[in-house]
Chains A and B, each alone.
Chain A
Amino acid sequence: SQTIHQWPATLVQPVGSPLSLECTVEGTSNPNLYWYRQAAGRGLQLLFYSVGIGQISSEVPQNLSASRPQDRQFILSSKKLLLSDSGFYLCAWSVEGEGEQFFGPGTRLTVL
């Protein structure tokens, strides 16, 4: 069966510090991978998606970046965090771009 992992579960970082959130998927090959952010009181905002190793599409201009160094690994990064980067970050995967997406447990990021 497929499993998706995210870590860390919670993170408190000062403004201006770097960020690295990791997501890995088990039990499937060549998944489509996604990063979403849920800000307080808001919906799920698609940040990045990837259909293959090294292929990243950005949906929202911001100071975040994503990388996919391996087939089932997706990393969300920032060189300098802003207060507005606080939120709940979710990684998700799907097969062939349709059908349901499966979400990870999420990372609560607080930037102080």
Chain B
Amino acid sequence: DQQVKQNSPSLSVQEGRISILNCDYTNSMFDYFLWYKKYPAEGPTFLISISSIKDKNEDGRFTVFLNKSAKHLSLHIVPSQPGDSAVYFCAGTTSGTYKYIFGTGTRLKVLA
């Protein structure tokens, strides 16, 4: 059972435009969500997170939106830059379980 789904395996965006990466989850017990960025042959690096008590969290060019009723979250990158080209993973967890469940990732390509 894939508890976290990223249905778009890839996305191409023009430099300067907005990138929107989507993530859906099925586990209603998840109360904390994270986004990671991963370059080839490297470990993922943390980008931004959101607690289920919020519906939006912003950090510079990155904003994460959470829609609990739809069990959906999205990551917005504005403006997109070529250096943002990477694979983006979303993950969900339930406080106290110590387990993070990751999606399959979306490969973002920002075109110069």
Interface residues of A (CB under 8 A from B): 32, 34, 36, 42-46, 49, 51, 57, 59, 88, 90, 92, 94, 97-106, 108
Contacts and interface: CB of A to CB of B under 8 A. Distances in A.
Interface stretch (B13-21, B42-50, B59-67, B75-83): B42-50
A99 B49 CA distance: 8
Interface of B: 6, 32, 34, 36, 41-46, 49, 89, 91, 93, 95-105
Nearest to B5: A43
Given A102-B46, A104-B43, A105-B42, A44 B96 contact: no
Q: Secondary structure at chain A's binding surface: helix, strand, loop or mixed?
A: strand
B34 to A, nearest CB: 6
A100 B34 contact: yes
A97 B42 contact: no
Contacts, number: 61
A44 B44 contact: yes
Contact of A106 (B32, B42, B89, B101): B42
Nearest to B35: A100
Contacts of B96: 97-98
A88 B102 CA distance: 15
Given A90-B43, A106-B42, A51 B98 contact: yes
B49 A103 contact: no
Contacts of A98: 32, 93, 95-96
